[in-house]
Amino acid sequence: MYKMLLVDDRKIFLRTVRRMPFFRDHEEEIRIEWETCRADSALEILRKEHVDIVMTDIRMPMMSGIDLLKAIRRENLCSCTILMSEYTDFAYAREGILYGAFDYIVKPLEEKELEGTLTRALAHLQKNDLMREPEMAAAEGLAGMLFKNSREEIEKGLKAIESYVMSEKDPLERMQKIRKINSRILQSLLTGYPFLESYVPLEALFSSPDTASESDVREALLRLSRSLLFLHRKAPLFHTGSANVQVQNIWFYMIGNVDESCRLTETAQRFFLNPSYLSSLFKKETGISYKAFLQDLRMERARFLLGNTEKKVSEIAAQLHFTDSEYFRKSFRSYTGISPAKFDYEKYIDAAVSGK
């Protein structure tokens, strides 16, 4: 039995959906367990209960369905979120897909369309249940732990993964397990935190060697540990401790748009706020100034571009909205202690893992 959370700001709509024939015909497979008219209330339910499917309207007061979807992905609260909207503008669907929505339904709901979407959702959940070995679930758990657990807890999870891998005697079978774990962690991160691809080389971090000698297995386990601990060290940049939804939206807007100008006045205008108020609120809620956080994002993006692309320093400076290459060089050296020309991404990972 899969449990659904239904979210819409109109109670009459909630009653209408509950009475649709699909839920009567599939009562042994899926049930609407919770319903609420507010996205923030839905978030509270998700944090307390195990929810298999969320079906939420996009346009709601205070907190939208897109905001709810982002929170679900950040906190790994549910693997299947379906968006609904009376507006057929594809921009909503596109944003939902970007943040990992399972599907998008246009209101008013038609029984046939609802049935098709929920049938696919059930098949998706059933397939995941079959594939999710306990150890694979632990691998997915490690991805979620990066943003809310201590290093000690992550190291404990890594030891469990190592024991699982080394329980096989054949190095080839050990490597097959490592490849599967890397793939599962990578997919979980890409689904839950798509913005990470702009800041860290996820594909490279969770790659596995083609060969499978005993030394390859040991090296692959060490690389997995190194990659996860590196991401854990970087996690504070991508996670705000603020419970203020408005500040969270601004925080993640900046993370997702680091290649844009993101000047305070521009962001304030986008969120219909006074710049002084935004600056004060941001510092109060996050403990860091807007300007300093933008600098943190730009420098992390610059490291990624320097270490993982063929872009010239002048191109990176322009992309990140520095006035000229020399100003970028000075800013990068001041921030990192090293010039862009001498920056080495592998050494950067090692230093981050070692706590330097």
* pTM, rounded to two decimals: 0.66
Give the per-residue pLDDT at 211: 87
Give the per-residue pLDDT at 131: 56
Residues contacting 219, CB < 8 A, separation 6+: 209
The two tokens of residue 86 are 């009376």
Give the per-residue pLDDT at 233: 94
The two tokens of residue 208 are 């596995």
Give the per-residue pLDDT at 148: 77
Q: Is there a contact between 310 and 187 (Cβ–Cβ < 8 Å)?
A: no
Segments of the chain scoring below 50 in pLDDT: none
Q: How far is CA 105 from CA 81, 149, 198, in A?
A: 11, 35, 29
Residue linked to tokens 């609407």:
32
Distance, CA of 223 to CA of 226 (rounded, Å):
5
Q: How far is CA 266 from CA 165, 263, 299, in A?
A: 50, 5, 20
Give the per-residue pLDDT at 12: 92
Residue 196 phi/psi, 5° resolution? Answer: -60, -30
| CA nearest neighbour of 7 among 89, 45, 106, 86 | 45
Distance, CA of 141 to CA of 30 (rounded, Å):
25
The three-class DSSP label of residue 54 is strand
Widest Cα–Cα separation across the chain: 67
Distance, CA of 302 to CA of 310 (rounded, Å):
12
Residues contacting 212, CB < 8 A, separation 6+: 171, 172, 174, 175, 176
Q: Is there a contact between 45 and 19 (Cβ–Cβ < 8 Å)?
A: no
Give the per-residue pLDDT at 135: 62
What are the tens digits of pLDDT across the range 284-302? 999 999 999 999 999 999 9
Residue 227 phi/psi, 5° resolution? Answer: -65, -45
Give the per-residue pLDDT at 173: 87
